[in-house]
Amino acid sequence: MACATEPVRTQKDLCDLYAYWSGNGYELINNLWGKDSATSGSQCTYLDDSTDAGVQWHTTWTWQGGHNNVKSYPYSGRQVAKGRLISSIHSMPTAVTWRYDNERIRANVAYDIFTSADPNHDNTGGDYELMIWLGRYGDVYPIGSSVGCVTIAGKSWDLWTGYNGSMRVYTFVPVSGAINSFSADVKDFFNYLQHYQRFPASSQNLIVFQVGTEAFTGGPATFTVSQFYADVI
């Protein structure tokens, strides 16, 4: 007789709007910032494990209505010290391994990094936003328009740029499909933007350094991060 599969033991359940956990230099949030644009749906995020070497977590969601509106961006982030100018940062090493159990959805998987001239800017935005999309499901697109193909961290990316209000957004989208296991130095992306897109690295402070999934519609779907590591050196 086959043995039953033991259920995943979670360390923390986050189901409320903006429910939050932090520890070991990391944070996790059930960020349902756009939920009011949905006609129905819900989402819960779960911390599975955490050490100094990173976090493991998953989130389960289903959303209907508001076709082109983001409903949520649950994320894990590296907690960063205030007053770290991008130009003073030597390296931003990171690695993430993830999967979706249902790809018949409209969503992305992305790093989201804000910078601001004000080191005390709140963590919901900034002057600039750097996104690194690792997966795209359905007809969802970055802000702005494509400005060409670039190679960074050994991979080819389609670079999009535009504005979210007054915030300049740069989004790197993989040319060859989803990247389920990603390891890179994010400072390389900032170096590219500084050299080719006039990003003002000497006056922009790092505000947040996080990875998660933007959910539009579909589900039920579970997004699992089996490991996320990041640092600022």
- Residues marked as catalytic: 129, 214
Residue with tokens 């050490």: 51
Find, among 131, 52, 97, the residue nearest to 224 by Cα: 97
Residue 202 CB burial class (10 angstroms; 0-12, 13-18, ≥19)? exposed
- The sign of the dihedral angle between the CA atoms of 191, 192, 198, 199 is negative
> Residue 175: helix, strand or coil by DSSP?
coil
Angle, CA 138 vertex, CA 172 and CA 134 arms, to 5°: 30
Phi, psi of 56 (to 5 degrees): -125, 135
Residue with tokens 């350094």: 209
Task: Judge contact between 227 and 54, C-beta under 8 A.
Answer: yes
Task: Judge contact between 195 and 50, C-beta under 8 A.
Answer: no
Question: What does the alpha-carbon distance between residue 179 and residue 163 come to, in Å, rounded to a whole number?
Answer: 25
Q: Hey, what amino acid is at 148? A: G
Find, among 33, 62, 28, the residue nearest to 45 by Cα: 28
Half-sphere exposure of residue 15: CA atoms within 13 angstroms, side-chain side: 5
